[in-house]
Amino acid sequence: MTALADRTDDGRVHGFARRHAVRPRTGVLVLHGFTATPLSVADWAEEFHAAGFDVEVPLLPGHGTTVADCDRTTWADWLGAAEAALARLDHEVVLVAGISMGGGLALRLAQLHPDRVQGLVLANPAVLLEPWKLAAVQVLGRVLPSWPGVAGDLQDTSAQVLAYDRTPLRALVSQAAGWRDVRRDLAGVRQPVLLLRSSVDHVVPAASARAVLAGISSTEVSEVVYANSFHELTSDRDAPAVFAASVRFARRRAHPDGATPEPS
């Protein structure tokens, strides 16, 4: 079976990093979503880099290969890879940006490593499913290996996201278990947060963003809602606005005193 990553010549599909010749004060970890690859957040990461920040974009375990590979991985595997990538950014200021599952992982990193994470950019963050869907996943996950894919929820019909066309159910059950930890410890998130979400999302329910905003203890929180995109916010029509808002947030976090921004 052909690996998902073999469908593209873009080497960033395997994960990538961008470093400036002169080390900036700030680094940004960018995390992709469930069943996707770093290509779904590559342009986001490149915008952070163009704004003067170092970036790290890992390929999470079980992704970029086959659905069966993904179904053999767990939330613990993805979190471990995210923590390893975070450790590679030993900058004075480190921000974590993530879409969907990547947003849930970003929240967990902020909870577990509050001394290392100084801010979060969350795009349609996933921390729960509708109760009926979760129940269906837990039951069907015992007898079926997968169901139709969730990636590719785009308002722009000309856009594409490289992702599995099936959803590995055992892996999704593991993710849901990881979300319980994230939701339980939301009050431990005190870092500044920029939450970017689509007004219509056919993958992650609006209740997920509401739970995040209601649960975190952050005193600096901004929410921006976009009307021209569905779930794949970093690949859809609102992507340029998402990137611009993300960079503005990162610059404020890098220099909260209003000092000179990072060199580009």
- For residues 195-217, one letter each, b for 16 or more C-beta atoms within 10 angstroms of the residue's C-beta and e for the rest, the string is bbbbeebebbbeebbebbbebbe
Q: Are 125 and 104 in contact (CB under 8 A)?
A: yes
CA distance 19 to 183: 33
Residue 69 CA: distances (Å) to CA of 101, 105, 110, 178:
17, 20, 28, 19
For 198, list phi and psi in degrees, rounded to 5. Answer: -90, 140
- Catalytic residue (choose from 231, 235, 236, 238): 231
Q: Are 108 and 191 in contact (CB under 8 A)?
A: no
9 burial (CB, 10 Å; 0-12 / 13-18 / 19+) is exposed
Residues in the chain, overall count: 264
Give the chain's count of helices (H) and strands (E): 8, 9
Name the residue among 34, 30, 90 with its Cα closest to residue 67: 34
Name the residue among 251, 126, 142 with its Cα closest to residue 192: 251
- Catalytic residue (choose from 201, 208, 218, 236): 201
Q: Are 148 and 169 in contact (CB under 8 A)?
A: no
- For the question of residue 231 being annotated catalytic, the response is yes
Q: Are 186 and 107 in contact (CB under 8 A)?
A: yes
- Catalytic residue (choose from 100, 174, 198, 218): 100
Catalytic annotation, residues: 100, 201, 231
